[in-house]
Amino acid sequence: MLNALNEQINEELNSMYIYMAMAADLDEMGFGGMAHWMRKQAQEEQVHAFKFQGYVKDRQGRVVFKAIPEPQTTWESPLEIFKAALAHEEYITGTIHKLVKLARELDDIATEVFLNYFVTEQVEEEDSAHEVVDALEKVGDSVGPLYQIDSWLRKRD
C-alpha cells in the first residue's frame, strides 16, 4: 500500500508539472486569465502531493520521490489544453480508484478513509475542467468570447 501511495505522490507532482507547462503555453498564447487558472490548478496538485506525503509519514512509511517525466510544452489552442487537462484528471481519477480498491483488498480501513477525500476531490476536478471545455467548445475561434472566458478564469482564487 505504501508503495502505491508513493507512486501517487509522483502522479500528483507530474500533474502539477503538466499544468505548469499548460499555464506557460496559455501565457504564450496571450491568455493570462486561463494561465492563472491553470497555475492555481498546479498549486492544488502540489497540495495533493503534500497530503499523500503527510499520510505516508503518519503511517511510518518512507517517502520516495521518483523522476517526473518531461511534460508536453505546446498545444494547438486553449481548447486542446483544457481537453488534455480533463483527460488527465480522468486518468488521475482512475489511479485514485485503484488505490481505493487496493486498500479494500488489504483491509486497510484507515487508508480507504484517507482516500475518500480524493474520490470526492476528483469529481470536482473533472467537473471544473468540463465546465471550461464546454465553454471553449461553444465559442470556437471567436476572439471576443475567448477573452470573456479569459477574464472569467482570471477570477479563480
Interaction site with Fe ion (CB under 5 A): 12, 45, 48, 125
Q: Which is nearer to Fe ion, 103 or 146 (CB)?
A: 103
Least separation in angstroms between residue 80's CB and Fe ion is 18
Least separation in angstroms between residue 30's CB and Fe ion is 25
Q: Which is nearer to Fe ion, 122 or 146 (CB)?
A: 122
Residue nearest to Fe ion (CB): 48
Least separation in angstroms between residue 100's CB and Fe ion is 15
Q: Cα separations (Å) of 45 from 25, 34, 77, 97, 134? A: 18, 17, 23, 17, 23
Q: Tell the residue number behind the cell numbers 504564450, with chain if given.
A: 28
Q: Which is nearer to Fe ion, 12 or 150 (CB)?
A: 12
Q: Which is nearer to Fe ion, 30 or 65 (CB)?
A: 65
DSSP class of 117? H
* CB burial readout 118-151, b (16+ within 10 A) else e: beebbeebbebbeebbebbeebeeeeeebeebbe
Least separation in angstroms between residue 86's CB and Fe ion is 10
**DSSP code per residue over 42-91:** HHHHHHHHHHHHHHHHHTTPPP---PPPPPP---S-HHHHHHHHHHHHHH
Q: Which is nearer to Fe ion, 8 or 103 (CB)?
A: 8
